[in-house]
Structure 1
Amino acid sequence: DFIDDLSGQLLDILKDLQDDKDSFSILGISYEEKAFYDILVKVRDEHKFEYVDEKCLDLAKAIKELVDEKAQYADWSSRDDIKNQLNMDLTVLLYENGYPPEWDEEVFEKVMEQAENFKKYS
């Protein structure tokens, strides 16, 4: 009985992983853009503000493009000038897109952290 339960749980986990793996293509975005989309949606839901999924998709694409542009230098994560420029450009991008509707430093920090982690581990 324990083995059956464990097997069932493992199969459920595998299915969830596969669904998550396929979810970016269903949304019409890349795997990398999905990482930004997920953080935008998560932060939106945690902070309970209105921002439609379609706008999150567009913003995720723009964030990935911005990060790719800044991270073209091999040592970008250790260069304060590049990180500061990314920080400023990301602030402007979020502000211009009304994300979040009321500025919240914590929201910005979470998105910036995702941007830094994305390039560090990709």
Structure 2
Amino acid sequence: MAKLTENAIEELAIELLQTLGYQYHYAPDFAPDGPHPERASFADVLLLERLRGAIARLNPTMPAEAREDALRQVQRIASPELLANNEAFHRLLTEGVKVGKQQDGQERGEVVWLVDFQQPARNEFVVANQFTVIENGHQKRPDVVLFVNGLPLVVLELKNAAAENATLKSAYQQLDTYKALIPGLFTYNGLLVISDGLEARAGSLSAGLSRFMAWKSADGWPKPRTW
């Protein structure tokens, strides 16, 4: 039997996500100093051109100025409080981004959508590992980040159950450290996942460890373990 390692757990998670339709990218490849950069700096957590393309694709009747205004609003979320930032983004994500549009010489309010919730296949899903973020002099590298239309909506922290002190609790504590040191990544967070390779739990940005729960299917039964 192959030895269980953290890298093996990460690879299995990525393989599973690929079967669900995620495109895999090794994050250092699209880092600012990578062979195919998609970030201007390590402080940037949005895959900006992917988000810009998604906004254009999902809002084809919206003029370019309105689409760019929506993009700026997503980038401008900048309260000193992480939860306030996350709540502001959640409204943009679920309610759409309110913009102005010129029509017949008059300004009218419109909504730009960042994600198509009705037709999921119209969105772009990316799984990336080893995504380095540098913020306020702190450099951190979460294990796996899931992007939807260039938005880092999910962060997975993986531990090896065979290693001493590598538990769901330690994975949760690692996420807490990330939230404190690189909060910019978590402005756009929709879900956190922790796993020790034997068990996985999911929770919201503000959830305590006791509120992280096993993912359940539509009929209420836990999903079968896949690693």
Give the TM-score of the pair, scaled to structure 1.
Answer: 0.37
Is the helix fraction higher in 1 or 2?
A: 1
Is the strand fraction higher in 1 or 2?
A: 2
Greater Rg by CA? 2
Give the TM-score of the pair, scaled to structure 2.
Answer: 0.24
